[in-house]
Amino acid sequence: MAKLYYKFGAMGSSKTASALMCRFNYLQKGISVLLLKPKLDTRSKENEVTSRIGLTAPCVSFAENESIADLFAAANEKEKVEVVIVDECQFCTKKQIDQLREIAESVPVLCYGLKTNFKGELFEGSKRLLEVSDSIQEVKSVCECGKKAIMNGRFVKGLIVTEGEEVVIGGDEKYRSLCWSCFKKEQNKALIYQKIIKYLKIFDNMDSAGDWSGDTAIDNIVMHTPHVIYDEEVQNFINDFKTFQIKDPQKVLLIDDNIATLRKIPMKDKNFDYMMNLISYALKLEKIKPGLLKTLIEEGTVTKWLRQIKKCVG
């Protein structure tokens, strides 16, 4: 019995490979297949569907303003079409999905594609498919952390973005499939980068980060131990970073609390997460080693750390 099938999954879940294997199985049994894909997908030749694992097959491509009903009728005149398979179906318009719905009254129609865009919002085509499909099946894949991937993160220079055009064609160089937790973690990472990278230029030109004081009242409390009253820009840096401080950074760093150790940490191959832990550790040590941050800023060590953070995101 003819039905409209919608098979969705995050990027890299082998949706296209599944579509091509499905086509092969039908052809092997002598069943004719019309393979379609939107012209918006420019990662391969216009009239070819190609998967990441190297499977390819000829197809008929269509533009947003073209009628899939007309393409089906034209193909049917040449050879009776018994099955329709659509790759990257999320790029279809609502009208085109409705045409596929009508075609599915006579032959099976199998649609493969994404469910949501890089913002986590439904594409026009996927929204309509969720509304009118007879069968909805998830093609599962895993996040880099091992959990199920449900989000399609778009990355620019190593940072996730949540603003921009809905359709930006790309593969692994632009997108990563993520679980919800990692998706939010990457958004948090992008937010802190925007907040703290401005201090690279500020600290690079800073001669003094603050002044020592022994008995100055702070919040109506008189401090009787040596401490530093930091300049406004340094205090802003501390406040901006507070939201993102890591609870136990030393567990990741596995280093002692000696300032000489902090100075000597090589930057080669240190990633963004390591650098975040390192800054968190320095801010934590400041509470028990007053003036440590002042020294690290004035001698250029924090500037070196911020440079490495900038390098990490390209």
Domain ranges of the chain: 4-140, 197-312
Give dist(CA 1, CA 12) in Å, integer. 30
- Active-site residue set: 88
Would you state the pLDDT for residue 33? 97
pTM, to two decimals: 0.76
Give the distance from CA 242 to its chain's centroid: 24
Architecture of domain 4-140: 3-Layer(aba) Sandwich (3.40)
Partners of 49 in the beta sheet? 57
Compute mean pLDDT per 10 residues along the chain, 314 residues long, and list them: 92 92 96 95 84 90 95 94 97 97 97 95 97 96 93 88 79 86 90 90 91 64 71 92 77 85 91 89 90 94 94 81
Asked if 136 and 6 touch (Cβ cutoff 8 Å), the reply is: yes
Would you state the pLDDT for residue 58? 94
Give dist(CA 68, CA 182) in Å, integer. 38
Would you state the pLDDT for residue 220? 56
11: which 2 tokens? 């990027």
Give dist(CA 218, CA 221) in Å, integer. 5
Would you state the pLDDT for residue 1? 64
Give dist(CA 137, CA 125) in Å, integer. 16
Asked if 285 and 277 touch (Cβ cutoff 8 Å), the reply is: no
Would you state the pLDDT for residue 63? 95
